[in-house]
Amino acid sequence: MATVRDLRDRIRSLKNTQQITKAMKQVAAAKIRRAEAAQKKARPYADAIAEMLRDLIGAVTSVDHPFMRAGRAGAPAGIILITSDKGLAGAFNSNVIGAAEAFARTQSAIQYYTIGTKARNAVRRWGMADRPSWLLGAPSKIDTAREAARAVTDDFNRGSISEIVLVSQQLITMMSQRPRTRKLVPILKEDLASLDSARDDARNRGAIEFAPSPEFVLSKLLPKYLEFTIYSAMLETDAAFFAAQLVAMTNATDNASKLIDELTIQMNNARQAAITKELLEIVAGAEALGVE
């Protein structure tokens, strides 16, 4: 049975831990507001570039761009895996890493491009060769997105990879995050079936003129589409991470409070038992002296 001193030390340790979890909870609450604000600022541009891409694809007949052609047969698939740089966010990182593993099992070969320390460490644990890796918390996320887009584009154009797949976290609500797997490149005809309604809407809105030509504009827009899609996923992962950390630290703080209450009761019981034992010993000693 634990002594009063042991229980007191455990309570003190739990209180120190609780102070840390409270501080991390407050930091996550502050950072998630900034992350959400950054994501909301980028959303209009994301919507505009997606709408323009739909209009262009609906307007062109053919485009001689590598992104619109199938990748080299037999080449491994390229996965851009985005996680956070830090932990203490529940199953946030393990869920998105598990989604990447599930997709990898459907492929014959895989090459990873990791954004986030946890993703890089996971790939190294799997014994795979180091690929280009970047930090999610880099000073400039847009520069990181450009570098990542350039790296995967160069490998795709060389035929080192057959496709570009993005695996990242999707922020559903403050209490829920869900891994999402998206094929970004190549954009093939079968991938454009969902754009039929967009073409009809474009015709209903009237003719749209692109200068010098829709094919030229589309060839310039496709690299920007890849770059900004990665950037948007980084912003969403950032916001989702702080939401997950906020929930995890809230639960940790509440659990620490419950443990402190339970240990306080145990400590009081142990103290009372020790006092009762001492009283019994004193009474027994007094009675023994009286008998003598």
Query: Which residues form the domain of 142?
Result: 22-247
pLDDT confidence tier of residue 202, bands split at 50, 70 and 90: very low
What percent of the chain is modeled with pLDDT above 90?
Answer: 47
Summarize pLDDT for 103-122 with one digit per residue, the tens: 999 998 999 999 999 999 99
Query: The whole model's pTM is what?
Result: 0.81
Is there a domain that residue 132 lies in?
yes
Summarize pLDDT for 268-281 with one digit per residue, the tens: 998 888 888 888 88
| Mean per-residue pLDDT over the chain, rounded | 85
Is there a domain that residue 265 lies in?
no
Least confidently predicted of 9-18, 62-71, 253-262, 278-287:
62-71
* Strand ordering across the sheet containing 110-115: 133-134, 110-115, 77-82, 164-173, 176-185
Is there a domain that residue 253 lies in?
no
Summarize pLDDT for 205-249 with one digit per residue, the tens: 445 666 676 677 777 788 888 999 999 999 999 999 999 999 999
Summarize pLDDT for 242-269 with one digit per residue, the tens: 999 999 999 999 999 999 999 999 999 9
Is there a domain that residue 12 lies in?
no
What type of residue sits at position 227? E
Q: Report the CATH number that the domain containing residue 206 is assigned in CATH.
A: 3.40.1380.10
Is there a domain that residue 209 lies in?
yes
Is there a domain that residue 252 lies in?
no
DSSP string, the chain: ---HHHHHHHHHHHHHHHHHHHHHHHHHHHHHHHHHHHHHHHHHHHHHHHHHHHHHHHH-S----GGGSPPPTTPPEEEEEE--S---STTHHHHHHHHHHHHHTTSS-EEEEEESHHHHHHHHHTTPPP--EE-TT-S-HHHHHHHHHHHHHHHHHHTS-S-EEEEEEEEEETTEEEEEEEEEE---GGGGGGGHHHHHHHHHH-----SS-HHHHHHHHHHHHHHHHHHHHHHHHHHHHHHHHHHHHHHHHHHHHHHHHHHHHHHHHHHHHHHHHHHHHHHHHHHHHHH-
Overall domain count for the chain: 1
Pick 124 or 198 by higher pLDDT: 124
| HEC string for 27-61 | HHHHHHHHHHHHHHHHHHHHHHHHHHHHHHHHHCC
Is there a domain that residue 81 lies in?
yes
Least confidently predicted of 9-13, 92-96, 175-179, 202-206:
202-206
Is there a domain that residue 225 lies in?
yes
